[in-house]
Amino acid sequence: MKTLISLFDYSGIWSEPYKKAGWDVVRIDIKKGYDIFDFFNKINQVTAEDPSFRVNGILAAPPFTHLSSSGAHKWSEKDIKASVYDEVWPMPVYSISDEAVCFIMVTMLIIERLRPIDFWALENPVGRLNRLIPELQEYGPWYFHPCDYGDPYTKKTGLWGVFNKPIKNPVLPLFGSIIQNKYSSTDEKKYGLRSKTPKGFARAFYEANH
């Protein structure tokens, strides 16, 4: 049986085609109370006991808007504002921006430890990810809109990683921008509605990477 690790998987949409196809899908999400650092420690233990242990694929969708261009007017504030995790964070954190970078760095360490056989992909909005983590520049971004894969709205999203690019099957974005027209920031904070993976893209990604 093939194994997929899906990090920051709140909705389960991106990993669902793999689950339906019979893959062993391990979903980890901080919004549901799972500590990503605990998971990293477990991975370290597993790979130490069995250096040949590997998985087939890794998906990661860190839920942080602190790096997004849509919040660029607040970047300077986030770069100096202390994080709520200052007292308990297991890594040096000096600002809200550091918090976001720490999560992505731990994600990359998990990918490095598990050395996925077939693919890995990290999703993030348009923003400053490559500037804050220059090591990612060789892996992306590759951009897409939901309307490229059958969902009739726009939301420019970047992917970094080693994967086959899904074949596009575009439709007209009749509903416009999901960020501007459909869900408010309150909806996002409560339910993560704006950041959910488009179902059409999830299916296309699976077809290209299974």
Compute mean pLDDT per 10 residues along the chain, 210 residues long, and list them. 92 95 91 75 91 94 62 45 51 60 86 96 84 88 94 91 95 75 47 70 96
Alpha-carbon span 137 to 128, nearest angstrom: 11
Q: Which helix (H) or strand (E) holds 77?
A: helix 75-80
Alpha-carbon span 193 to 186, nearest angstrom: 10
Alpha-carbon span 56 to 156, nearest angstrom: 27
> Is there a contact between 89 and 102 (Cβ–Cβ < 8 Å)?
yes
Nearest to 195 by CA among 5, 26, 9, 6: 9
Alpha-carbon span 119 to 37, nearest angstrom: 22
pTM above 0.75, yes or no: yes
In terms of residue numbers, what domain contains 110?
Answer: 3-208
Instruction: Give me the number of domains the chain comprises.
Output: 1
What pLDDT is recorded for position 73?
A: 44
Q: Sign of torsion, CA 160 130 43 36?
A: negative
CATH code for position 49: 3.40.50.150
